[in-house]
Every structure is written in structure tokens, then in C-alpha cells.
Amino acid sequence: MKLWDKGISIDKRIEQFTVGNDREIDIHIAKYDVIASRAHAKMLKKIGILTANELVELLTGLKKLEDQIDNGTFVIEAQFEDVHSKIEFELTKTLGEVGKKIHTARSRNDQVLVALQLYYKENLGIVKLKTQTLFETLLGLAETYKDKVLPGYTHLQVAMPSSFGLWFSAYAEVLIDDVYLLNAALKTVDQNPLGSAAGYGSSFPIDRELTAKDMNFSTLKYNVVAAQMSRGKSERTIAAGLGGLCNTLSRFAMDICLYMSQNFGFISFPDELTTGSSIMPHKKNPDVFELIRGKCNKIQALQTEMLLITNNLPSGYHRDFQLLKENMIAAFEDVKDILDIFNYSIQQIIVKDVDVHNDLYKYLFTVDNINTLVVEGQSFREAYQKIGGQVQDGTYKPDTSKKHTHVGSMHNLCLDKIKAKFPI
């Protein structure tokens, strides 16, 4: 069944190419099409297209479909082009002429658009919650290991003293910036496009405020052309938000892989969280974090894909938009899995003691020792040259007793203030 079917047969190869794998992808947005169809039916009753009894019949039919979706028995068979044609077919099969009325005053264009907006809204909320869970885990680890020294590096060279508390809470605070972007994406999609029809509205006296309220949208995309133009723009904005979050997770995963290696040896994980080698029995590979790194890097490329598909399209609907769904939905599903597995794994991290008296870290405290001389009255340049000379002639002996007490430093993490910053 095709919603645009006018009784003309279409070439089977053309049909297969244009439909693609929409049926598989559309399972993810099936429940949102039901939600939007329910709101649309209520609106049709208000403007006199449906009777009270017809509305009850449609709502009952939609509830049955919703139950099938929830319990996993809803299937989009090969005879259907997408979820929208499947749902209308089931309503018509059950309710007869009443089922045929559900498409009045809407197009498949705004039907797809509103279902996607609802999917994006809910899943951005889920991603935010999972990000907050990881954020709180990291702050807990920062508190637990705040006194554990960790060498700090610049250019991958030993630089200055840091701590595990500083490391964990650094990634926690950067997640806040990622949530700012997710909130911007959420605000972008929280605008009801239903009623824009094919992009130019309808001659029916539809009530778009009613459907917006019923579906819990904060506002409308008022201009019907702008509503259709939001397709592509929404995906680019979301891809930027997910990409920013994945950038943080990818860098964190890289740190973990680095710090697990024998050349660093700062952390480890239980054996059951690592994998081995088929020929090297000593191996404990950080495959989980390598895959997180790879998946996150792949998701960061999504914004470019969304941009290249849509950047030179004129206003109005174009079939190119169909190509946005698959990788966008896949990215949401991957990000949710990544956040879950990251949070699960990082809670089991084994933090090791780092011997700062090891010759590897001999120069970790040169800056602290320069600062000590400055406090004693020397100029910074004089103190720098003195400690630098000791490093060069091999007479330098580190003093590891200096404390870093200013806001946000290793001995003053301000975890409570970081926690208070997390956006709702």
C-alpha cells in the first residue's frame, strides 16, 4: 500500500530503490506516528471532519496498534512502503471508511516530519539523562580518588602534577558543555510541524495549537514552508549536539586506552571487562573503549553527512530527506548504548598508585619549585633560569610538597560547584 497510490503500477526496480529500507527504519518511529495520528484525529473531530463516534473508533484502533508496537508484535510487511501506510491500512481494515478519514488535512510530508520530531525530542531527553548519570558517576570517582596523584602531560611529555580527581571531574564538567548543545537541539525540534501538510498548509480550518498541546510541543513552527524547511536543519543541529558529546567520550576513551598501557600503567579494569589475544596470553585489551572511540568518531562525522545531503536543496520537500533518517536514528541508538556501557565500565576502574619519586616523573614538579622560589622573593625569570640550570646539569631535586589551592585546581576541585552547573 502506498499513500500516493492512484492505481498506476510502478516499476519494481524503481519501487525497491525509492523505498529502500524504510520499513526497517520506521519501526523506530512507529509509536510516534500513532501519537501524532491520535492528536490529528482529535483535531479533525473539533473542526467537524469526524463525529464523536468516529473519533472513539479511531482512538480505539490507534490504541490497539500502540499496544502492538509496545509489545513488539507490530510488523511492517513488504507490501507497505513505510509505517505511515501500514498504520492507515490497519485502521481502514478494522474501521472501514472511518480509517480512510485519518489522512484528511495532512500529507505524508508533515506526517513523517512530526513523527521524527517526536522521536528526536524523546531521545534527546534520554541521551541527556544518560549523560547526567555518567556525569554523576565521574563526580563520585573524582571525590573517591581526589588525593591520588596522576602525572599531567603536554605534548605527551611529563609536565605538571595532576590527580585522578582532577581527571575525572574535568570530563564531568566538559559533559556540561555537551548538554548545552543537546538542549539547543531539543529546543530546535520542540516545535510542532503538523499542519504544514506538503509544505504549503491546508484549506481546511485546522487547529494547529490543539495538536501542539496534545503532543506536548512547546510551540509551533508557524510558517508552513519553514516547517518543511526544518527537515534537514533539525538533523544537522542534532548531529552537532551528538557529535559534541561523542567528541568528549572519544577523548576520554583514548585517555583510558593510553593509561591502561604498560608504558603508563595508571589504571586497569577487571579481567572480565577486557579481551585477550589469540596468540599472546598476557594481553588485556581495552576493546570496549577502543570501540567507544571508533563509534564516537563515526558519529562525529554525521553532521558532515547531514550537511552534504541538504546544503543546496531549495525550499519545499525533496526525496533526499528520506536519506536523513537511517543514520540519524542509528546514531541515537549507538549514543544511548555508548553512554550505558561507558558508565557501567568506568565504575569498575582500578586506580593504581603512581610513585612520583620514580625517575620517570622527576621533572613533574619543576614549575612548583620555581613558584616556591618566587614566593621566597626571586623574580619568575630568575627562578626559571635557576631550576632550568639544575635540570640541565643534573643537580635538580624535586620538592613534591607544594599544594595547588586555587579554585578548580587539584587540591580544590569544587565538585559541588560543578555539580550545581549541570543544566536541566
35 and 92 together in one domain: yes
Q: Which residue has the cell 485519518?
A: 102
32 and 71 together in one domain: yes
Q: Which long-range contacts (CB under 8 A, 24 or more apart) does 178-181 make?
A: 178/131, 178/241, 178/244, 178/245, 178/248, 179/128, 179/131, 179/132, 179/422, 179/423, 180/423, 181/240, 181/241, 181/244, 181/245
Helix (H) or strand (E) holding 381: helix 380-393
Q: pTM, whole model, 2 decimals?
A: 0.92
**pLDDT exceeds cutoff 50 at 4:** no
319 and 379 together in one domain: no
> Would 154 be classed as within a structural domain?
no
Residue 232 half-sphere exposure toward CB, CA atoms < 13 A: 22
**pLDDT exceeds cutoff 80 at 217:** yes
347 and 368 together in one domain: no
Q: Which residue has the cell 507497505?
A: 80
Determine the pLDDT at residue 273: 86
Determine the pLDDT at residue 207: 98
Q: How many domains does one find in the chain? A: 3
332 and 245 together in one domain: yes
239 and 117 together in one domain: yes
Determine the pLDDT at residue 8: 56
DSSP string, 240-285: HHHHHHHHHHHHHHHHHHHHHSTTT--EE--GGGSB--SS-TT--B
229 and 305 together in one domain: yes
CATH number of the domain within which 260 lies: 1.20.200.10
Q: What is the mean pLDDT of the chain?
A: 93
Determine the pLDDT at residue 96: 95
181 and 305 together in one domain: yes
pLDDT per position as a tens digit, 332-387: 999 999 999 999 999 999 999 999 999 999 999 999 999 999 999 999 999 999 99
**pLDDT exceeds cutoff 90 at 279:** no
- Alpha-carbon torsion 45, 50, 54, 60, what sign? negative
> Would 335 be classed as within a structural domain?
yes
Whose CA is closest to 59, among 39, 74, 88, 75? 39
pLDDT per position as a tens digit, 36-82: 999 999 999 999 999 999 999 999 999 999 999 999 999 999 888 88
Q: Which residue range is the domain that position 262 belongs to?
A: 108-146+166-192+222-351
Share of the chain above pLDDT 90, in %: 86
Q: Which three cell numbers stand for residue 9?
A: 503500477
**pLDDT exceeds cutoff 90 at 115:** yes
**pLDDT exceeds cutoff 70 at 160:** yes
Mention every residue, 6+ apart, whose C-beta is less than 8 A from residue 9. Answer: none
> Would 158 be classed as within a structural domain?
no
Select from 103, 118, 134 the last residue of a domain.
Answer: 103
Mention every residue, 6+ apart, whose C-beta is less than 8 A from residue 140. Answer: none
**pLDDT exceeds cutoff 80 at 261:** yes
346 and 364 together in one domain: no
227 and 320 together in one domain: yes
261 and 334 together in one domain: yes
Determine the pLDDT at residue 23: 78
**pLDDT exceeds cutoff 80 at 3:** no
246 and 232 together in one domain: yes
> Would 216 be classed as within a structural domain?
no
**pLDDT exceeds cutoff 70 at 19:** no
